[in-house]
Structure 1
Amino acid sequence: MNKKILIVEDNKTLAKLIAKKLQSALGLTVDVAYSMAEAKLFIARYTYFIALLDINLPDAPNGEIVDFVTEKNIRTIILSGNIDKEFRKKILKKNIIDYVNKSGVDDINYIIHAIQRLQNNAKHKVLVVDDSRVFRKQMQTMLENLFFQVISVAHGEEAIGMLKSQPDISLVLTDYNMPVMDGLELVIEIRKTYTKNELCILVLSSNEDEEITALFLKHGANDYVKKPFSKEEFSCRINNSIEALENIQMITNYANRDYLTGLYNRRYFFDTINEYIDEVKNSGEKFAIAMIDIDHFKNINDTYGHDTGDKIIIALADILRSSTNPHDIVARFGGEEFCVVLKNINQYSAEEIFNRLREEVEKFSYHLKDDKYINFTVSIGATLFNEEESLEENINAADMLLYNAKKNGRNQVVFQA
């Protein structure tokens, strides 16, 4: 995504203040034009992520800048001192993101938050489900203007198929009355697979029956919006739903992740691996468990300090992450101790991966100041999972093999099938 913003504002003091705050808060490049003519020169030369426009300029007093910029497919937020409601409604009918009154510092803070929201929206997919092609197109335009990735389908059955092929969809917008599968049936079906913490559902319907609204909410809809609705209401409800989802996922992530490395923590490891063992119990799928420990880590802490020791742990975490597949499990158990599970693998491939991992660590150098470097090694104890023993017994076996690796001179892999 392009990270350049254009401000078009004839009040030079205000324009410079907004530009300074945006650059400080967002780290984005900001260009400032004081007239429509200057704006045209900037737009001819650069590509912009978003434009913030005043609508009363010396050479464009009647909002001509809005049509010019939106026709260039630049997303637009209006900054205006005009508080006339009818004028505001007229401008909001144009293909803009928002209309913000220029009344103080709080409005600048609102704009900063709005731009941060737009940047985050680009990470999310939204599925629109409605049997009206015109309405689907309208929703798609509004959502894409908010930077969402948008997919649209005509009814519930198509939506279920799309969710299976695109499991990373964050939000579903659905109508109520549709052929094949109506909106309520769709909500019920989605909630069999996705919880509210994993996927948001917003119902958009012209149905006035309050019992229907309650039914949707009881069966798992996050929100219910009655048609017709304003662009501002729609944007606020969409953004609020996505923010709530992000906050829940962030809290969940903090609970599951090690604070230092970002790897899974010990508690989450045991929850996940037990689920995986149940899944593959009858399939015959093999997997390997390894315990990994940094050699002479106490010496590193004593010689260079705990801050450097933490950086060595982070460096090892990065190597473990990059040396394994995304579906494998990599966890920090505590201190300098890690556990790695390689899924769907045989003895020879597992042993090869662990040896390659050990070599990657041995080749790595952590750069200190003054052109000094720290080299370190790891010892690894690994075993193929033995179905006749418990998870704890398998981990203890890997731990014993790790002890043997340490005892035999460190910087080695001891693997037992």
Structure 2
Amino acid sequence: KKKSIYLKQITIIIVNKNLHSLVALFKESKFNKKKAIFLVAVILLSLIIVSKMTLNDEKEKFVEKGTTDGLSRALLKNGIFQNPWDTWKKPEMSGLLRWGLFHKDNTKLPSDNTILDNNLPVHLTSDEEIKKFCEEDTTNKIKIIWIGHSTSLINFENKIIIMDPVFSERASPFAFAGPKRFRPVPMTIDKIPKLDAVVISHNHFDHLDYKSVLSLHEKFGKNEANPLNWFVGQGTGEWFKSCGIVKNVHELLWWESKNFKDLEFVFTPAQHWSSRGGFTENKALWGGWVILGKSKKVYFAGDSGYCPAFKEIGQKYGPLDYSFIPIGAYEPRWFMGPQHVDPEEAVKIHMDVKSNKSFAIHWGTFALASEYYMEPKEKLDEMLDKYSVDKNNFITLRHGDLNEFE
């Protein structure tokens, strides 16, 4: 019976193309995985034949459009987006199975919460602290609360902005499977007194969370005088419509911008992909965000493999004052390399975009890959030494801490 339930979960996850959830399920399974290989292969073959939902390379379906400004553009044909660089390789289902079934899991998450509390302490933000955070003048500085993974709340030039809000227990469409949060959220949405804008890098479940979006919309989106505005990649608006959110959702292509409350939001390239399951693969564009203020600039890299886009961003908008750069979920490199940077590549991004101060994200919250759970931070320190970058200029933050930088 347990095996039947397990295989049913595998089938549902494969159909929805939630790669992290499938690997997490393999990690959590307690019966002999080798006995499931044949049945999983049968399931995969059936899905390939019936629904044609594989992740095979479809580069021949795209026609590259020439540009005169030297900036990279996403390829687009028949409503499907694709990365334009030779550094990109799409993740194959065969690679996913190889990783999930045979690759050693080195995350080594301790079962003892006291160890986690020591290595990754969480500051539970009080009502008074978050109120002060939102009200304090930030004309010449930025205030930051790292909520975890890629979710950060910032007060930038007196506008409250949240990046890739995920407050749920799992980064998954399912309550029963998928990467589970091993560090608690330091605050809940109901504690946030004010919010002006949300930026979404892409639609994967660890970056775009249904329950969190609905909660934010319920609290801040129905204020006619000062409604919450959403900044998303082209194609993501359809998902918001399915959630009943039809107003103040701004869809952009790479390098397009939208002005809002004295800030300019620019959607920038990243090397990644998108899917919410079913036939939605790559129908919504992924990317990062540059937020231009009157005197300062913020950069949010989202999810990305290392590619030429970062030098382009640095040339067009650098130097950038504050950057949020991913450092985790990068092993095994043969599978994760094209879609997730490692700490060394994160340092290269820091240099490419000419960042004055960078903050590490996409680590320390969900076990999405195979590296030791504290390795991203350790390797970041090593790579900063390797490239002679001041460690004060690229730092990790503690969950829930109130940080202030000029």
Normalised by the length of structure 2, the TM-score is 0.25
Larger Rg: 1
Normalised by the length of structure 1, the TM-score is 0.25
